[in-house]
Structure 1
Amino acid sequence: MPPIRRIRPGKPYPLGAQWDGRGVNFAIFSAHAEKVELCLFDSGNQREVERIVLPEYTDEVWHVYLPDCRPGQLYGYRVHGPYEPAAGHRFNPHKLLVDPYARELVGQLRWSDSHFGFRTDHPKADLSFDRRDNARVMPKCRVIDTAFSWTDDHPPAVPWSQTIIYEAHLRGLTMRHPLVPRNLRGTFLGLAQPAVIDHLVQLGVTTLELLPVHAIIDERLLIERGLRNYWGYNSVGFFAPDPRYYSASAHGDFKTMVGRLHDAGIEIILDVVYNHTAEGNHLGPTLSLKGIDNLSYYRLVPGNERFYENYSGCGNTLNLRHPRVLQLVMDSLRYWVEDMHVDGFRFDLAASLAREKAGFDGGSGFLDAVRQDPVLSRVKLIAEPWDLGGDGYRLGGFPPGWSEWNGRYRDTLRRFWCGEGGLIGELASRLTGSSDLFGWGGRRPWASINFITAHDGFTLRDLVTFEIKRNEANFEENRDGTDANYAWNCGVEGETTDADVRALRARQVRNLMASLLLSQGVPMILAGDELGRTQQGNNNAYCQDNAISWTDWSHVDEDLHAFVQLLIKLRRDFPVLRKQRFFSGEAFPDSSVKDILWITPEGREMSHGDWVAPYTHSLGFLLGVDPSDEDEREAPLLVLLNAYVEPITYRLPDDGGGGWIVLLDTASAADGRRAGRVEPLAQCVVQPYSLAVLTPLSGVRGYGREKGVGE
């Protein structure tokens, strides 16, 4: 590419490299820089062909317009200023830096000591200064044309009450899929293949939540161990998809994937990491923000700005109290919605995003900005409602408009099915949407994102197979990953050929999955759990980009898959399982029927003494239907749970004379049904460690056999 000859002042907005059809405007924020240089590289990503001093500085933004520049141009920045770590400044113009607004990156970072702003072998550590140039081993930013023919793309806009989330890693889901072409496995286009989308559609999930796809850096230590950052919680750019997930076009491939998912009626939510970056603490590399304006972009220790506040556990925390840093995050979010057509976000360690000077604030600048934003306030927003600060556990503390990962749901359901007694009060709250946590400010049951398993922890199969984590493959001497698994191996640690143990494990998997999909709120299924996926006991597979983490499509538990399909159909066909308001425990107007009735095995309504009994291992409840409701789809459901070692016989409530139909029984068959059990029942024997779901024949109200009841 010939040198860029013509230079114009350009504009301070928008930030980033913006192609307008005639030339490219470059703009970058730095409040404390003394000079900014734009470095242009040849198409081979090796040679710097021109270096241009940005001529204009407006409102703390450096900018230039190049009328001869075109999409495809590779570039990076060098930023001059003081190198005074004790004052929070870490400028080093010898380091090529990634534009925070770069839409696409080319190449992977190759680790070298030249990436550090200081001499790594110097006795003064980061107080020293390094003059080596790192450009040859840095990824480069690429100017792009974001135009794309969406044809007639329409977001599915699935109502929260009907949402079923499927949390997946796009590589893990596709790397071993036999119907995905080998050259597309692990990429956006691999996920867009008909076989993958058909699996999601046939399963019945509505919303695909992808682990981070933003551009990341693999930590040096992982590379030295022959591993990589598989999960992707180590961002270096908030606009650019990571190069490992596409071949020719980052944006074309991603948008094609989104369009095909939308055509199938499936939403896409991105797991996003705005709480920290890959630059680490004071001993970390200088890759982007640290060299652009460290004092503005990061939260530094007051009075000792050499060091970083670390609410992420990853060395640093972004400073969203600064308006330009907040702008960076908001611009990124809007870009993924407006240009890339995603349907929502799950925010990693979201409590750190809402920290003001005094700590977490439900009215923080970030939360207020999102709440009033005409674009972002209308998409699905999910918080991981904690961080690593001392006051960082904020479950239930996010404002209206947000849903939250419900960690108490996960722990309670695990503990109950492990056989721990005295939990039924807590269990009842979790099964009914956790109104004790979310029942304020007009929030609805879908504020609770219910899950038993997630990417972080055991898979569902491993949860009933291992009690002790097996993380040796991470090369951290099995010290990483949580020890609080609330897991039960059913009497034998690890895989076994014992038929009785295997049968109990399969039943426990069905119990946990059934509990999840019978609960009020939004269920989230971990990808592969419906197929019996195992990680061989690794509960922290963040660095395992290999068969440990990838779904093995050649070994699928077909019975479990059919069972999960049955559960999702049950949830879809019975609206009482996805109420839009919290239960009150009171009778419907002009009726003696309660919206929810808690019953004992004797068939009577539970009393205070029943609720506080310390050793109770069972719970029964009837989800009622308003008699005045003319919706013929509505039908009551009776749910009976038994986590005891002996069978429990429930006397069934008066159903009006028609008898009860057993829709689901996790003890009876691998697919959960009691084949042929359509005769009237006066009582129901719930076997040890099992769950049953019934509906009154007289209360089906048009649901009927034509929809599969009792068949």
Structure 2
Amino acid sequence: MTDHVGDPSPTDIDAKHAIPPRMPAPQDTARLGAHLDDSGCRFTLWAPRAERVELALLDDQDHQINHDMAGPDDEGVWEVHVPGVEAGAIYGYRVHGEWAPGKGQRFNPARLLLDPYARAITAGVDYNGPILDHPADDAYELDPTDSAGAVPWSVVVAESEPPTPIAERKPLNQSVIYETHLKGYTRLHPQVPEHLRGTYAGFAYPAVIEHLKDIGVTAVEFLPCHHFVSEPFIVGRGLSNYWGYNSMGFFAPHAAYAWSGTRGEQVAEWKEMVSALHEAGIEVILDVVYNHTGEGGHEGPTLSYRGIDHGGYYRLTDDLHNDYDVTGCGNSVDTSQPGVLELILDSMRYWVTEMGVDGFRFDLASELIRDENHHVDQNHEFKRRIAEDPAFDGIKMIAEAWDMGPYGYQVGAWGPGWSEWNDRFRNYIRDFWRGATSGVGELASRLSGSGDIYQDGRDSQASINFITAHDGFTLRDLVTYDHKHNEANGEDNRDGNDDNRSWNCGVEGETDDPEINALRHRQVKNMMATLVLSTGVPMITAGDEMGRTQEGNNNAYCQDSPISWVHWDTRENWADLMGMTREMLRLRAEHPALHRAAYGAHDEIQVDGTGVGRFDLTWFGNEGTEMGEGEWNDPGRRTLGRYTSTEDEAFLVFVHAGAEATEVVLPGEPFAQSWRAVAHSGFAGDFPDADQILEGGSRLHIPGRSLVLLEALLPNPFATEADAVGLRDD
């Protein structure tokens, strides 16, 4: 969960501090990295404050050979060409300069460093090795021990064709985003060959893609796939970073997700996976962590950026000794530095043009738009550059619109061109279905696209609606646990959020009680249906559609284990949820009235220029008439009907969170001539079958805690009395 910390007012922040020099970025950043040619490979590194740079290469016998690089040129770039180097060669850098922590400089040539522009990275970190740039007992003294045997290496990668492009990217209002962990999704998949489970190739397997297509997914949003490392404190507990929010290579796909090899094979395997998804019509959105790196604070390991230029890559405190952390992860990448901003934009461009990505979800996005004084700036060059770059035309840009720093909560502030995770939707819908809200006023806002938050020149596509995500309870756990159960994380259940807004339906944890299990199924279906049918962009967490559980763990970031992996054997017991989800998503996709982009405004529908008496959006209570002031102001109301229509169709969804059943009168003309219940969150017999016609003005019984979607048979607005008599005669 995220606390609302107030409206942004950066001028209130006291950020008087020494600022490292603004180092201009190279004019041509395309030359950075390792580039093969007919005779060998050219290596270039941007390190404007370094005094000497060595390229370290491993030969066939794993002997390290160092080459002095020429530079820096007038743009701060160092360069060397090495004949005979081929694809698959591994390399690193040793950067010399002043050891002066008080100046934001921690140069230590004993540290072998990754290339920030590396297209592939070999492996992980030996946390028992000399990976710190200082002795363990003094973070401001230099440690001269060589780190080469304990750290990952960069890989020379040959150019290759990009993945098959998708035939057509869907607009966001027609998209269904599926947030998933790449490894965990197939680790237990019974139809994926064992050696491919948990890999890029495993995700591309036909049975996996078939499931996504079957339920109606249009875009997968992968948790971070940039090469990442674990934090030392996690490794010390015998665990690892599972989610991947600890990036070390902004160009390199995570090596451990490739079954075919880590000397560049991971790049080819990623591209083959994207091609398979694109050929199935499924877009790929990448969750990117540009706000911090896996080096942590200055007391953490030095693997790349800190050793190249501590004060150049990271935000520092007033005295330049320490990292200024607005991410909660030890460091914050400094996008006010031109070279750093260019690195991020180059990475994004590479993943779009060369790796086939169709969109980005930016972790802790507010950090990326802080200026040199660490103030949040919605006019930051980061946003301007994205808007101006044709490479990003049609690419989905989704902000996690907060960070951990002052005034970091920026939900609703990102403006045109951006969508945002809507945590207010998440919080309210959880509260509504557990009976912890007053009235239905805010419910109407959340169901209709949250225009109260995003009506700033954007339409409802700005709102990424979600009820669960990787962080927190699964949908099933929301109705199974009142309290987090994170004991397996090794922190005595102190980690994770206590504000889960969950309800266990009367028993903590799993139970054999059939009444409680029936209620849990109904509640999970209620929340899934609300998500799918709300205006905005639905984001489903992988496995929620088939009753996935994490056994009450709401902070499974360190659980690369069955706790986090998707269990495919739940599909049978949760077939009712699967079936409802599939049907709701089908209806949403096929009917424009259910995936509108524009906010409803209670505008009368026009047919051939004539008003027909019904509206694009309106609201109904229990009596078949539009909601009145008294109903809107009733704090005890738990029932609301949302009516949406276009020229050709109309739908009415009733949500009822009351524990007891209720009855509603179905609106008659001009809203509908008659109705049929096409989908619902109940069980067999709870609602009339879809082939049963329900006349306008008739009463509909709604069981306690239920949702029903009704499709209207519309009257002919131009029918004459003679037409009506003729119809009766027939």
Shorter-chain TM-score tier: over 0.9
Q: TM-score, normalised by structure 2?
A: 0.90
Deviation at 1:658, TM superposition (A): 3.8
Q: 2:651 aligns with which of 637, 640, 648?
A: 637
Counterpart in the other structure of 1:154: 166
What is the rounded CA distance, in whole Å, between the counterparts of 1:570 and 1:13 in structure 2?
Answer: 46
One-letter amino acid matched to 2:370: R
Q: CA deviation at 1:699?
A: 5.7
Q: CA RMSD in A?
A: 1.9
Q: Could you give the per-residue CA deviations for residues 220-251 of structure 1, whole angstroms, max 9, x where no partner exists?
A: 22222221100000011100111101122111
Q: Quote how far apart the aligned CAs of 1:57 are.
A: 2.7
State yes or no: 1:245 paired with 2:257.
yes
1:644-698 Cα distance to aligned partner (Å, 9 max, x none): 1221211111145742211123223399874653353611121110011112233
Give, as a single letter, the amino acid of the residue that structure 1 aligns with 2:541: L
Structure 2 residue runs of 5 or longer lacking an equivalent are: 1-27, 718-730
User: How far apart are the structure 1 equivalents of 2:204 and 2:391?
Assistant: 26
Per the alignment, residue 693 of structure 1 pairs with: 709
* 2:479 corresponds to 1:464: yes
Alpha-carbon distance, 1:559 to partner: 2.1
Secondary structure of 1:512's counterpart equals helix
Q: Secondary structure at the match of 1:227?
A: coil
Q: Distance in 2 between matches of 1:672 and 1:174?
A: 36
2:687 touches 2:702 (CA, 8 Å); kept in 1? no
- Per-residue displacement from partner, 1:488-532 (whole Å, max 9, x unpaired)? 111111111111110010000110000011111110000001111
1:183 aligns to what? 195
8 A Cα contact 1:210 1:268, kept in partner:
yes
Secondary structure in 1 aligned to 2:310? helix
1:75 aligns with 2:96: no
Q: Quote the offset at 1:625 in angstroms.
A: 2.5
Amino acid in structure 1 at the alignment position of 2:148:
A
1:344-380: per-residue Cα shift (whole Å, max 9, x none)? 1100000110112262111101111111111124301
State the distance in 1 between where 2:332 and 2:162 align: 38
C-alpha contact 1:451 1:524 (8 A) present in aligned 2? yes
Q: Counterpart of 2:368 in 1: which secondary structure?
A: helix
What residue identity is the alignment partner of 2:525? Answer: R
CA change 1:666–1:54 in 2 (3 A) is same
* Shift in Å, 1:390: 2.5
8 A contact 1:560–1:671 mirrored in 2:
no
Counterpart among 165, 174, 185 of residue 173 in structure 1: 185
Q: From the superposition, tell whether residues 70 and 672 of structure 1 become closer, same or farther in structure 2 (CA, over 3 Å).
A: farther
Quote the residue 2:627 is aligned against. Answer: 606
For 2:513, the equivalent position in structure 1 comes to 498
Query: Offset of 1:596 from its aligned partner?
Result: 1.1
Distance 1:423 1:14, change over 3 A: farther
1:346 aligns to what SS in structure 2?
A: strand
- 2:602 and 2:441 map into 1 onto residues whose CA distance is 14
Between 1:381-390 and 1:646-655, the stretch displaced more is 646-655
Give the distance between the partners of 2:688 and 2:221, measured in 1 at CA: 30
The CA deviation at 1:153 is 3.6
In structure 1, the residue matched to 2:432 is 416
- Give 1:154 deviation, angstroms: 3.5
Alignment-mate amino acid for residue 632 of structure 2: W
Over 3 Å counting, the alpha-carbon distance change for 1:213 and 1:671 in structure 2 is farther
Given candidates 135, 142, 147, the residue that maps to 2:148 is 135
Deviation at 1:297, TM superposition (A): 0.5
Does the aligned pair in 2 maintain the 1:174–1:551 contact within 8 Å?
yes
Structure 1 residues 690 and 84: alpha-carbon distance in aligned structure 2, compared to 1, 3 A threshold: same
Map residues 273-292 of structure 1 onto 2, 5 A cutoff: 273-292=289-308
Match of 1:320 among 317, 335, 340: 335
Q: Distance in 1 between matches of 2:601 and 2:238?
A: 55
Is the 8 Å Cα contact of residues 12 and 27 (structure 1) preserved in structure 2? no
Per the alignment, residue 235 of structure 1 pairs with: 247
C-alpha distance in 2 between matches for 1:88 and 1:149? 39
The counterpart of 2:106, out of the listed 62, 72, 90, is: 90
- Which residue of structure 1 lines up, in the alignment, with residue 615 of structure 2? 594
SS of the residue corresponding to residue 524 of structure 2 reads: helix
What one-letter code is carried by the residue in structure 2 that aligns with 1:61?
A: V
Q: Counterpart in 1 of 2:208?
A: 196
TM-score, L = length of structure 1 = 0.92
The DSSP-based 3-state class of the residue aligned with 1:534 is coil
Aligned to 2:139, the other structure's residue is in SS state helix
For the Cα contact (< 8 Å) 1:416–1:423, is it kept in 2?
A: no
Contact 1:660 1:679 in 2 (8 A): yes
Alpha-carbon offset, residue 155 of structure 1? 4.7
Match of 1:126 in 2: 139
CA 1:388–1:155 in 2, change beyond 3 Å: closer, same or farther?
farther
Q: Residue 449 of structure 2: which of 426, 430, 433 is its match?
A: 433
Give the number of equivalent residue pairs.
677
- 1:135, distance to aligned residue in structure 2 (A): 0.1
Mapped partners of 1:275, 1:601: distance in 2:
49
- Secondary structure at the aligned position of 2:579 is classed as helix
Residue 209 of structure 1 pairs with residue 209 of structure 2: no
Question: 2:11 is matched with which residue?
Answer: none
The reply on whether 1:522 has 2:537 as its aligned counterpart is yes
**Which stretch has the larger CA shift, 651-660 or 200-209?**
651-660
CA distance in 2, matches of 1:71, 1:480: 44
The letter of the residue matching 1:573 is E
% identical equivalent positions: 45
Please say if residues 43 and 74 of structure 1, whose CA atoms lie closer than 8 Å, have aligned partners that are also in contact. Answer: no
